[in-house]
Structure 1
Amino acid sequence: MRFFVFHHNDGYLYPKVNKSFKNSTSMPNHVAPATASDPASAFLRLLNVLDTLRTECPWDKKQTMETLRHLTIEETYELSDAILEGDLDEVKKELGDVMMHLVFYARIASETNNFTIVDVLNSVCDKLVNRHPHIYGDVEVQDENDVKRNWEQIKLKEGNKSVLAGVPAGLPSLVKASRIQEKARGVGFDWDNKTQVWDKVEEELQEFKEEFNTLDNEAIDIEKAESEFGDLMFSLINYARFININPENALEKTNKKFIKRFQYLESKAKENGKALQDMTLAEMDVYWNEAKSL
């Protein structure tokens, strides 16, 4: 069994590691922590590795929360892709990358005595316990909708001035629309049934058609068009929520389907010695329809 000694020398709480490092171009003589066999030891192993890298790797030493931010977003999208592809081996790898980033942020914060990984883990555990009074308290719920309503009410008691305050401003618009609608529903501001929502979709579509289905040479008020089109999209996203479709996932699957079919079109054109830009739409449609049947 491998034992870890925790230290607070630099204001953080991490497993103690060997600090012997030769000031040369050679690699430091560290022995990687042994593979763990249980969750706690595995997490300590990650902390140990990150502590060593942060102390002695030139790249890791230079990183800040700001420099890691875009990399974290990239890793999250890679995880999302792996999930949509159903590739569990890749999901495992990408989860590890995301986990490493989370630990890295806590490691950076600990260096200035802001918080440690222990603070992070205790904070999320405390929040989960507090927001699940039907599990850890005496509150009774009938279904998941009751759980969501309680969740939003608890967040308001915790200090959020608005139900929508918890929606990150930087979310992609499609995801943000879904989160806004979910949070509004959490306090009872919602349609009664999907028929009402679909009626709203048709209403918004008709308004858009009447306003902007014009001849090609007619000028269009782009600002107004965007506003009406946004209303239409918001309604469609709302309908998707009512029939338990994740609009982000649905659109991404369509993106992947289009890419696959278009790449088939490209490959068939190349096989026949043709360039897409020199082909007619009718010629391209032949290959496109072949791709649809695959």
Structure 2
Amino acid sequence: MDKRYSLEDLQAIIEKLRGEGGCPWDRVQTHETLREAMLEEAYEAVDAIERKDQENLKEELGDVLMQVVFHAELAKEAGCFGLEDVIEGICKKMIYRHPHVFGNAKADTADEVLVNWEILKKQEKQITTQSEAMKHIPMALPALIQAKKVQKKAADIGFDFTEIGDAMDKVREEIAELTEAIEQGLGTDEEEFGDFLFAVVNISRFLKINPEIALTKASKKFINRFEYVENSALSEGKKLSEMTLKEMDHLWDEAKTKSLSE
């Protein structure tokens, strides 16, 4: 029978990789050098979820867990905390933030749970103003997600558009300001473009759409249609670089029609 490894086994493996005679690469890693890996592994797990690939999700969750154990080992070596402290901390947090399960609080719907969660989070972190709550949003988050979270914090205290039409009007206003900045060469294109994106994210909130996922799907759709255009050109013995924009647009329209029928 194959050995069934445990969390303790994974911890021991990381310790060995980091120890004397261990792996040269693992031994020189720090929290900072592993930042990108942590993000990449999390995104790869999300990608597996999007593709509904359970086998790959199992693998990617293992990679995410390895990052957690690795960072905990680095902290233990520095005398800060260990994996046991990480586990204790998250257990305490989950119990504290679910008083409707582990205590006497009442929350019958998912929305009520989220309201209570935010209140308890503020109490736990001693956040007294909404501005502080916004500043606690991690800057390492993708910008679209960060913008949505900032807007949600403002909306929580009533600082928000009353309906989606107002949010759409704001987008049109920002487009006009961006257009003016470009035409006049005011040197504020980046700022105005940022305002435009921020306004678009507002619409995603009203539609209950995750803007990061929506943009990712749009990129994937673009790649699929572009692949159709390129393959169609190659089947005719042509390269895209040798075709006119009108010819490529014709193939693009074909790709759009094809994707609608699939």
TM-score surpassing 0.5? yes
Out of 175, 178, 184, the position equivalent to 1:219 is 184
Structure 2 CA distance for partners of 1:198 and 1:113, relative to 1, 3 Å: same
Partner of 1:124: 90
* CA distances 1:37-67 after superposition (whole Å, capped 9, x unpaired): xxxx622222222222222222222211122
Out of 155, 158, 166, the position equivalent to 1:189 is 158
Aligned mates of 1:79, 1:155 — CA distance in 2: 26
- Does the alignment pair 1:233 with 2:203? no
| Rg comparison, structure with higher value | 1
- Does the alignment pair 1:69 with 2:35? yes
**What is the TM-score with the length of structure 1 in the denominator?**
0.76
- Does the alignment pair 1:60 with 2:29? no
Aligned mates of 1:214, 1:113 — CA distance in 2: 56
Shift of 1:273: 2.2
Shift of 1:228: 4.5
Out of 231, 234, 247, the position equivalent to 2:211 is 247
Shift of 1:212: 4.6
After superposition, the CA RMSD in angstroms is 2.6
Structure 2 CA distance for partners of 1:205 and 1:108, relative to 1, 3 Å: closer
User: Share of identical aligned residues, percent?
Assistant: 39
Q: Is the 8 A contact 2:171 2:200 kept in 1?
A: no
Please give the secondary structure, in 2, of the residue aligned with 1:118.
helix
Flag the structure with more relative contact order, 1 or 2, with Cα contacts below 8 A and sequence separation at least 6: 1
Aligned mates of 1:131, 1:183 — CA distance in 2: 18
Partner of 1:180: 150
Q: Is the 8 A contact 2:133 2:153 kept in 1?
A: yes
Structure 2 CA distance for partners of 1:103 and 1:151, relative to 1, 3 Å: same
In the TM superposition, 1:83-122 aligns within 5 A as: 83-122=49-88
Q: Residue 254 of structure 1 aligns to which amino acid in structure 2?
A: A
Q: Which ranges in structure 1 are unaligned for 5 or more consecutive residues?
A: 2-33
Please give the secondary structure, in 2, of the residue aligned with 1:176.
helix
* CA distances 1:193-229 after superposition (whole Å, capped 9, x unpaired): xxx332222321332354454698x324342x54444
Out of 221, 230, 240, the position equivalent to 1:257 is 221
* CA distances 1:96-153 after superposition (whole Å, capped 9, x unpaired): 1111011000011111221010000000111111111111111112423322222222
Aligned mates of 1:213, 1:271 — CA distance in 2: 40
Q: Is the 8 A contact 1:212 1:220 kept in 2?
A: no
